[in-house]
Amino acid sequence: MQKRIQKAFSLKGEIIIPPDKSISHRAIICASLAKGNSIIKNFSTGKDPHSTLNICKNLGVEIEFKTNSELIIKSCGTFNQYSSALDCGNSGTTMRLMAGVLAGQNFNSVLIGDKSLSQRPMKRIIKPLSMMGAKIETNEFKAPLKITGTNLQPINYISELSSAQVKSCVLLAGLNIEGKTTFTEPYVSRNHTEILLKHMGANISTSNTSVSIEKSELSPIDINIFGDISSAAYFIAAGLIVPDSEIILKNVGLNPTRTGILTIAEKMGANIEIIDKKEILGEVVGDLKIKYSELQGTIIEGEIIPQLIDEIPIIAVLATQAKGTTIIKDAQDLRNKESDRISTVVTELKKLGANIQETPDGMIIEGKTELIGNCEIETYHDHRLAMSMFVAGLLCKKEILINGFEWVDISFPEFEKLFETLA
């Protein structure tokens, strides 16, 4: 699908940010592992969380939609073997988390994905799972994953990479193992899995950058999922860089392991106010008031990178409108996403007239730059790149065409409609 984007002269209004995708994945998995009935309200409409949901249904969990976004999960706390391959679609979260769950089952499984997911690295989860005794066959550590269910052993794993997906994979594998499994990472990555497992009664503890889990039975949950800050990021950026803009984003998750974009934006001089702050099931939630701001370049590196790894494409757009130099470092894992997000972001922003250079682990952006447009943009099957280029198009002097815009539906089907309410 090709999408035409024209310059916006201001953005005004108030919108409710759609449900958090990361928590939707984890809620459906953990509820499926709990014996009894759980209720999940405000479940994500994105295709990725529905890949996780469909796999849990295929494994024998009874899942009923009361409304388009409210689910009842009825589970006996165990899974049954599925006769065919389990399709993860485009979702790396689904594949990596379910690999941890399935490795310790008493049956065999096969996890497959689409063409894009089948090119993404799985060695990062296969290494710790193999240390636990898992038996997983792959083609050069890529999908499909052929998992032979077996009894696993606890490990003390020190990861070279800060990754919520790897951490969650190991924790979910350790949930059914006698003894203590510990995962240590260089910096704390998003911790939704730990928070949810603790809320459901798991024997789990954290210390600095380490988290440990022992064999636990989970209790059912009732959870109302709040807005996804990764989805809010596009509106945050647009509100800051489209002149004469003022918007309010309602019900946004503000977990400190996810708010790196707010930290960086404020460092750049952004006018952002948090209002109506509260706590829901151990997670911080609030509304964000965003106003157009004159921004300054900055350096983004080190321990904040795991807090904003998904937001770097839109931060790059933000940086084109900041005076001076913005340098993004330590983000080499961007090359292993739905696309090589370092290369693709640089390539597509250059088409628009941005002064941006690729580096091995990030990029260097000089601003403030007038974006010209009058070109076609490629999305490389990458939903976050598509949405970032949409926001860039709102600044362009001439219209742009975005090819493959349908990939936005992977995570954010409501994206365009919400922007239309602000125009």
Which residues are identified as catalytic? 310
Amino acid at the residue 46: G
* Contact present, 345 and 316 (Cβ < 8 Å): yes
Q: How far apart are CA 390 and CA 251, in angstroms?
A: 23
Q: Which long-range contacts (CB under 8 A, 24 or more apart) does 209-213 make?
A: 209/162, 209/184, 209/185, 210/182, 210/183, 210/184, 211/167, 211/171, 211/182, 211/183, 212/180, 212/181, 212/182, 212/183, 213/171, 213/174, 213/175, 213/180, 213/181
Within 13 A of 246's CA, how many CA atoms are on the CB side?
A: 2
Burial (0-12, 13-18, 19+ Cβ within 10 Å), 180:
middle
Question: DSSP alpha helices (H): ranges in 116-205?
Answer: 123-131, 164-174, 192-199
C-alpha dist (Å) from residue 196 to 172, 190, 311, 343: 12, 12, 23, 35
Q: How far apart are CA 270 and CA 288, in angstroms?
A: 12
